Amino acid sequence: MKWNKTRIFLAIFLPIQVLVLQIVAKNPAFVEKYYSNGIYPYLSSFFRILFGWVPFSVGDVLLAFALFVFLRFLIRLLKTRFKNFIPKIIHFVAIFSVVYFCFYLFWGLNYYREPLAKNLGYDQSKYTTEQLTKATKHIIEKLNYYQLKIAKNDTLKVENPYHQEEMYTMAIAGYANLSKEYPQLTYQFPSVKSSLMSTLQSYNGTSGYLNPITGEAQVNDKVPKTSYPTTTCHEMAHQIGFAAENEANFVGFLAANYNDDVYFKYASYRMAFGYCISEIRKRDINLSQELWQTVHKGIIKDYNESYDFWQQYKNPFEPIIKKGYSVYLKANKQAKGIASYNYVVDLLLHYFETSKEI
């Protein structure tokens, strides 16, 4: 039996990395200064420049190749009846060790940076139902306004006229406007693409993802286009270093809201309303029903269409995939897992109060 020293070293390096990561995770100020605002902007810019010009998703191709290699590894292991099992497992762990290192170096350490709320000077105290209701009424007012401005009739559903590729370009303009007031949210060197696995993403219930190895923002081009602007801006927020889902949601809201285009503004309040009304429903279902009655019928048709879209892709594996993703988020300092997305409500309320919108 021949042992590969490099593979053994890399395999041993994996638990060392895990230990170091636990230490780093306890020092968010260090991560914020030396990684998120230190080397990360240069690393991410490099990868967006490197792959941004490619017309297809390089990350999706790499992901498909990695899946192929993994399946081939399993098949060969079974065919050889686990012959040379230990060297093969060491080889597999060595590869995983390299991927683990690249994941956190290229992007993943952003999970352990300081909260965006602290960066923006927001008070992180809990909000009341009264505050939530006040903000939600404001959001409904704005949402109704933009729906009527676009559709000219409160019973008609908004029809986004743009192609997906157009919206990728338009989203950059929103970030440009946003950076004038929030320099820390500057976005440069675009690398946003439609995912080659959009159908698969639809079946696993996701609208997009960031490939941390290539730095590409991948968007599911099958999702209803009324939500497309915020989905795109959300993935772009991940690119500039906001790994936490609630923070990416908030930055995505801001970037869409600061856009001059009316469809982007509509999408921003559409997303904000979805999260806020969900929180109200948890606290007072009667109040949520009362608020829904003040929403234009055209907007309700829009939400119903989105619901119908996701329902057609429902399958037995989706909950398992979401549970796995939730475990992944919890392992990366997002204690509520997938529910972490909902924490955007806290940021939205502070934004509306500090910006004097309400």
What is the C-alpha separation between 51 and 45, in angstroms, rounded?
10
Place of tokens 């003040």: 294
Residue 169 pLDDT grade (very low, low, confident, very high; cuts 50, 70, 90): very high
- Both 104 and 228 in one domain: the answer is no
* Secondary structure (3-state) at 193: strand
Q: Is pLDDT at 3 greater than 80 in this prediction? A: no
Alpha carbon distances (Å) from 183 to 117, 302, 334, 347: 15, 34, 26, 18
End-to-end CA distance of the chain: 71
Q: Is the pLDDT of residue 192 over 70?
A: yes
- What's the pLDDT at 330? 76
Same domain, 105 and 154: no
Which of 112, 137, 163 terminates a domain? The answer is 112
- Same domain? For 85 and 122 the reply is no
**Whether residue 324 has pLDDT greater than 90:** no
DSSP string, 233-255: HHHHHHHTT--SHHHHHHHHHHH
Does 38 score more than 70 pLDDT? yes
Among 275, 201, 186, residue whose Cα is nearest residue 239:
186
Strands (E), the chain: 192-194, 208-210, 217-219
Q: Are residues 160 and 182 in the same domain?
A: yes
Q: Among residues 90, 112, 134, which one ends one of the domains? A: 112
The reply to whether 229 and 196 lie within a common domain is yes
Residue 316: partners with Cβ closer than 8 Å, 6 or more residues away: none
Using an 8 Å Cβ cutoff, are 174 and 37 in contact? no
* Residue 282, amino acid: K
Indicate whether 86 and 151 sit together in one domain. no
Least confident of 4-13, 19-28, 58-67, 341-350: 341-350
Q: Decide which of 271 and 333 is more confident.
A: 271
Round to whole Å and give the CA distance between 321 and 278: 22
User: How far apart, in whole angstroms, are the C-alpha atoms of residue 242 and residue 186?
Assistant: 12
The arithmetic mean of pLDDT across residues 240-246, rounded, is 95
Mean pLDDT to the nearest integer, 31-39: 97
- Please indicate, yes or no, whether residues 238 and 156 belong to a single structural domain of this protein: yes
Among 56-70, 77-91, 241-255, 275-289, the minimum mean pLDDT is found in 77-91
CA dist 336 and 108 (Å) reads 18
Residue 87 has pLDDT above 70, yes or no: yes
Question: What pLDDT was estimated at residue 70?
Answer: 86
- In tens, the pLDDT along 97-137 reads 999 999 999 999 999 999 999 888 887 778 899 999 999 99
Dihedral angle computed from the Cα positions of residues 181, 186, 188 and 192, in that order, rounded to the nearest 10 degrees: -100
Mean pLDDT confidence for 262-272:
98
- Report d(CA 315, CA 7) in Å as an integer: 39
Higher pLDDT, 319 or 65: 65
Residue 203 predicted with pLDDT over 70: yes
Same domain, 229 and 312: yes
| 102 and 134 housed in the same domain | no
Q: Contact 7/202 with Cβ under 8 angstroms? A: no
d(CA 320, CA 295): 34
- 103 with 128, same domain: the answer is no
pLDDT above 90 covers a percentage of the chain that reads 77
Q: Which residues contact 183 (CB under 8 A, 6 or more apart)?
A: none
- Mean per-residue pLDDT of the chain: 92
Q: Are residues 186 and 333 in the same domain?
A: yes
Judgement on whether residues 124 and 43 belong to the same structural domain of the protein: no
> pLDDT confidence of 86, banded at 50, 70, 90?
confident
- Rounded to an integer, the average pLDDT of 216-236 is 96
Domain boundary among the residues 112, 145, 171 is at: 112
Tokens of 290: 């009362």
Q: What is the pLDDT of residue 318?
A: 79
Q: 27: pLDDT confidence band, cut at 50, 70 and 90?
A: very high
pLDDT digits (tens, 9 = 90+) for 291-312: 999 999 999 999 999 999 999 9
The pTM for the full model equals 0.93
Task: Count CB neighbours of 299 within 10 A.
Answer: 27
From CA 3, how far away is CA 251, in angstroms rounded? 49
Residue 164 belongs to domain spanning: 117-354
pLDDT level of residue 340 (50, 70, 90 thresholds) = low
Could you tell me the pLDDT band of residue 341, with boundaries at 50, 70 and 90? low
pLDDT-derived band at 56, boundaries 50, 70, 90: very high
| Number of domains observed in the structure of the chain | 2
Q: Which of 74-78, 216-220, 328-332, 346-350 has the lowest mean pLDDT?
A: 328-332
pLDDT for 264 equals 98
pLDDT at 234 over 60: yes
